[in-house]
A = this chain, B = another copy of it.
Amino acid sequence: MTRFALTLEFDGGPYMGLQRQSHGPSVQQAVEDAAFAVTGERVIMYAAGRTDAGVHALGMRAHIEVEKPLAPFRLMEALNALLRPAPIAVLDCKVVTEDWHARFSCLGRAYIYRIANRRAPLTLERGKAWQVTKPLDADAMHRAAQALVGLHDFTTFRSTHCQSASPLKTLDRLAVRREGEMVLIETEARSFLHHQVRSMVGCLALVGMGRWSKEDVVAALAARKRQALGLNAPPDGLYFVRAIYPET
């Protein structure tokens, strides 16, 4: 058996999420089906993150194990050929040792969230950003965001369907900046709770509109209950950017 580490890019629009679902198409199913077509083997794909329906990836990491002897470049090319026309691409493929696990070896995850802050409907960015029509104060959002950085009980910012054993997480970075009409929110942590990024972005958007203060964010965090959440941002603007692993 050879273990291959994959770097995946995908448009999450057509999928129920990364993880295999009984009720619709998933990125996992598409990659596993392509791998079956290449190898004749029913492989299982493990990924660094389990992104939701509609969430995109620029550099998701995953691994599969294959019996058939294949060079990494050949496997990547074959997977890309067989994935067409699905909007999923393998950007990189390399052999790793059996102690390298896309999910369990991962030391950090980074996401970016894109808000299109404009009045006109989206055209080229449709499904690729969250449109917020009220003007956003990105500096106020950045200042409020710093209240969430560090070790906290993120129960307020966690889906009621979250399966994580603990709501305690350390948020390493949450930075907001404006680039023209786009407001970009970058965040990094060892791991995130289900819906955590979208929930943080939703509340920061309320701050940007002037409806919430930084103190409201602090109070929502301290409340430690989902009902204290101001707003959950839609999946369209969310991108899994990269996963970090120990140097090997």
Contact = CB atoms under 8 A, between A and B. Distances in A.
9 contacts: A9-B120, A56-B124, A80-B120, A87-B123, A87-B126, A88-B123, A89-B120, A89-B121, A90-B120
Interface string A96-139: 00000000000000000000001011111010100000000000
A31 interface: no
Interface in A68-103: 76, 80, 83-84, 87-91
The range of chain A's interface size is 20 to 34
A121 B90 CA distance: 8
A68 to B, nearest CB: 22
A10 B120 CA distance: 11
Contacts of A83: 121
Interface in A16-37: none
Contacts of A76: 120
Contacts of A11: 123-124, 126
Interface string A136-170: 00000000000000000000000000000000000
A80 B121 contact: yes
A122 B11 CA distance: 10
Contacts of A118: 91
A186 B220 CA distance: 47
A89 to B, nearest CB: 4
A43 to B, nearest CB: 20
A9 B124 contact: yes
A60 to B, nearest CB: 11
